[in-house]
Chains A and B, each alone.
Chain A
Amino acid sequence: MKALRPLGLLALLALAVLFPLLFPNPAVDTVAVLTVLFATAVTAWNTFSGYSGYISIGHAAFFGIGSYAVAILCQDWHVPGGYLPFLLLPLAGLIAVAFAIPMGWIALRTRKHTFVILTIAMFFIMQLMAFNLRSVTNGSRGMSLPIPVSWSGAFYDLPFYYVGLALLLVAVALSWWIRNSKYGLGLLAIRDDEDRARGLGVRTGAFKLTAFVLAAFFFGMVGGLHAYFVESIFPAFAFDPLIDLMVALMAFLGGLGTISGPLLGAVILVPAQQFFTIWFNKPGFYLMIYGAMFLAIILLLPQGIVPALRGRFTKAETLAGPVRSGDDGDVAAAVAWAGDVGDGERGGGA
């Protein structure tokens, strides 16, 4: 089983790389571009919110900042359409970072619900600024990005898809690396009991802020890429609260804090959104389905798909009963109690 894993991952990677060649249909490829963009965003978001337990509903602000950064830079530096705007993406990410450091520094002084509310507030402050700082953002009239005129309709999606896929691979690799590092373990400890972690020498403040800012860096790049992909941006769409809800929903559906879960969430939800939009023939109807899904996930699959499946597979193997997060199951407690007595006796005899 374990030996098959690298093979499975390679097959998935090959599928991702070959996807636009296997399905050379522009409508399908547009969905694929959006999927890799959201998958990148949710992976980065999960590296902060999933690992540390600080649920941010404001990272879409950095998506918007990245969008405007690329639009403004292209306009001011007269960047022509083509491959050049892609080179601006790391810069867009860094601009998002410049905003994220003070915002995170303030927001991370609070916890739990207060933190969620603060991130939402910060998001709307940024959106209002995009509407009102007309000299910078052109207000509600929006901005246009350079159009790559030489790219044919059939070719158009490909550069975006592959740049997006490259970002996704970097985000996933980083997420995996962090999960296996001392730093990541510190984030997980913060999720479980922040004060306790601090009492064991974990520098909680620095850990949380770096993860918050790292996620913002990816949101900035994804926002920039998305802006270039859709060719024009407006405050209400660049700073779209639905992006945050989508990202959170993807992570919760797939499995918060896991690496594959958020990816699975993105692969399910982005195409589903496009499908529902076409099916109902009206934009926005999919939101009702999403609302129902959110309820269903919380009631039926509170841990998400990946941990639920994993729990099913390992159930029989683990000594202490079903692997559940947080609370003790009755069975688990009983089994563990039996083990406890055994240990005590062994210790007592020694």
Chain B
Amino acid sequence: MSLLQTRAVSKAFGGVQALDGCTLGVERGSLTGLIGPNGSGKTTLFNVMTGYEAVDGCTVTFDGHEITNATPDRVFQLGIGRTFQLTRIFPRLTVLENMHVAAQREGWRSLFGRWSSSREHQRALELLDFVGLTRLQDVPAGNLSYGQKKLLEFAYVLVAEPDVILLDEPAGGVNPTMIHYLTDRIRELNQRGVTFLMVEHNMEFVMGLCDRVVVMNHGEIIAEGEPEAVRSDPKVLEAYLGA
């Protein structure tokens, strides 16, 4: 059974059918790419999976638990982390404080402890080192460059040690060296057992990194399979080129 599974997910915004019966399974340990033209429903599908968008009449399951319409905090605690297309960090908190926001603890009493407890602090520093932001730990996150914000968002999603990470355009607007760096980080985490599902327009990035690619168009999944097979699928070419 797939680790993350959606069945017949449909979602309309007024007259626009954003998702139309999407059934998608993400296998444990895989690197799955989700591609498709603009407006094909990729981000909406992410939003449904992570509790940011409510749906009815369909199911989303994660590791055997039903998480349809669960709240975003619940989804995160279960082990699904995500990043956003327009990077969302906490601009007025320092880089290190950003890391600690993601390290929420169980139970009320723990809330009144200092945010920088030693074990979490150690973990935050390790992850900042992992993405190469250690030097900037005391800088307000709003002062980081676009690429650095993407890395920070990636790092704090890792704090909770999620099983699955959904990346929404991780390479968008990021310079080539940084993309290369990010690819290495994703591969390294995947080898440690983290499953990835990513939306991305940079084909080189997706084809080079993912072991499976799913293509969406007009809210439907039109093709899926290995990168090479998908690349030459006539339906995919039609969706992209309008041929």
Q: Which residues of A contact B (CB under 8 A)?
A: 177, 180-186, 188-189, 191-193, 195-204, 318-321, 323-329, 332-333, 336-337, 339-341, 343-348, 350
Contact = CB atoms under 8 A, between A and B. Distances in A.
B17 interface: no
Given A202-B73, A339-B135, A344-B147, A197 B92 contact: no
B84 interface: yes
A185 B143 contact: no
Given A184-B115, A200-B104, A340-B144, 20 more contacts: A181-B113, A181-B115, A182-B115, A186-B101, A189-B101, A193-B88, A198-B73, A199-B50, A199-B52, A200-B101, A201-B76, A202-B101, A319-B135, A321-B143, A323-B140, A324-B140, A344-B147, A344-B181, A348-B180, A348-B181
Contacts of B185: 347
A197 B101 contact: yes
Given A200-B101, A201-B73, A180 B115 contact: yes
Interface string B135-161: 110111011111110010000110010
Interface string B83-104: 0100011111100010011101
A345 B176 CA distance: 10
A180 B100 CA distance: 12
A120 B40 CA distance: 43
B111 A318 contact: no
Interface of B: 50-52, 71-73, 75-77, 82, 84, 88-93, 97, 100-102, 104-105, 110-115, 132-133, 135-136, 138-140, 142-148, 151, 156-157, 160, 175, 177-178, 180-181, 184-185
Nearest to B75: A199
B178 A340 contact: yes
Given A192-B90, A326-B91, A318 B73 contact: no
Contacts of A347: 132, 177-178, 180-181, 184-185
A323 B95 CA distance: 13
A347 B180 CA distance: 8
Contact of A181 (B73, B114, B136, B184): B114
Contacts of B156: 200
B143 A332 contact: yes
Contacts of B135: 319, 339
A217 B140 CA distance: 32
A348 B183 CA distance: 10
Contacts of B114: 180-182
Contacts of B88: 193, 195-196
21 contacts: A177-B112, A182-B100, A182-B113, A185-B97, A192-B93, A195-B72, A200-B160, A201-B104, A319-B135, A320-B139, A321-B143, A326-B92, A336-B139, A336-B144, A337-B145, A340-B145, A340-B175, A344-B147, A347-B177, A347-B184, A348-B177
B90 A189 contact: yes
B104 A186 contact: yes
Contact of A320 (B75, B76, B136, B147): B136
Max count, chain B CB within 10 A of own CB: residue among A182, A200, A340 = A200
Given A186-B104, A196-B90, A347-B184, A341 B175 contact: yes
Nearest to B71: A198
A320 to B, nearest CB: 4
Contact of B97 (A188, A326, A333): A188
Contact of B177 (A191, A198, A339, A345): A345
Contacts of B177: 341, 344-345, 347-348
